[in-house]
């Protein structure tokens, strides 16, 4: 995909079967109006399925700069819902991504805030540190 080989050191594997990625996103409970942070989107297989749900905001945190161009391509078609962060998720405060100027959900104080999800294809070499973070 995009002439990029998976890097073993980053525990990369690419999920591009849309039937499978849709099942993953459904299983995560992502729905219209939700906010999502995807860890390690790679070329964007799960990203596409998340965007199909009609989520209000999707932040992706990708450490491998090779995947920024395909993610930018997706962002251009996502009506300002996809926000790309070139960063190490273990050094990123996901709450800060959602707390930036213009990122706060615009709801009345009496309304329910949107559901927020963190999703990603399991990255074996960082799974334990990420889950304990």
Q: Which pLDDT score is estimated for 1?
A: 46
Q: Quick check: is 22 in a domain?
A: no
How many domains is the chain built from? 1
**Do the Cβ atoms of 12 and 42 come closer than 8 Å?**
yes
Q: Which pLDDT score is estimated for 12?
A: 53
Can you give the pLDDT of all 133 residues of the chain as single tens digits? 445 565 554 455 667 789 999 999 999 999 999 999 999 999 999 999 999 999 999 999 999 999 999 999 999 999 999 999 999 988 988 888 887 655 555 666 667 777 889 998 766 556 666 555 5
- Residue 19 annotated as binding? no
Strand positions, DSSP E, 48-112: 57-62, 82-86
Q: Quick check: is 75 in a domain?
A: yes
Q: Quick check: is 41 in a domain?
A: yes
- Residue 125 annotated as binding? no
Q: Quick check: is 47 in a domain?
A: yes
Q: Quick check: is 106 in a domain?
A: no
Q: Which pLDDT score is estimated for 120?
A: 83
Q: Which pLDDT score is estimated for 34?
A: 95
Q: Quick check: is 67 in a domain?
A: yes
- Residue 62 annotated as binding? yes
Q: What is the 3-state secondary structure (H, E, C) of 68-83?
A: HHHHHHHHHCCCCCEE
Q: In terms of residue numbers, what domain contains 44? A: 28-101+116-132
CA dist list (Å): 83 to 4, 30, 47, 76, 110: 22, 17, 11, 10, 27
Q: Which pLDDT score is estimated for 104?
A: 59
Q: Quick check: is 79 in a domain?
A: yes
Q: Quick check: is 108 in a domain?
A: no
| Domain CATH for 95 | 3.40.50.150
């Amino acid at each position: 995909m995009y002439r990029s080989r998976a890097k073993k050191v980053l525990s990369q594997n690419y999920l591009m079967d849309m039937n499978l990625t849709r099942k993953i996103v459904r299983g995560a409970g992502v729905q219209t109006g939700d906010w999502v942070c995807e860890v390690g989107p790679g070329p964007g297989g799960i990203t596409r399925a998340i965007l199909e749900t009609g989520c209000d905001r999707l932040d992706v945190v990708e450490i491998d700069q090779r995947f920024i161009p395909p993610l930018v391509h997706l962002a251009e078609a996502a009506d300002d819902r996809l926000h790309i962060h070139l960063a190490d998720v273990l050094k990123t405060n996901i709450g800060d991504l959602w707390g930036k100027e213009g990122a706060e959900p615009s709801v009345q104080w009496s309304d329910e805030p949107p559901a927020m999800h963190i999703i990603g294809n399991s990255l074996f070499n960082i799974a334990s540190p990420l889950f304990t973070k």
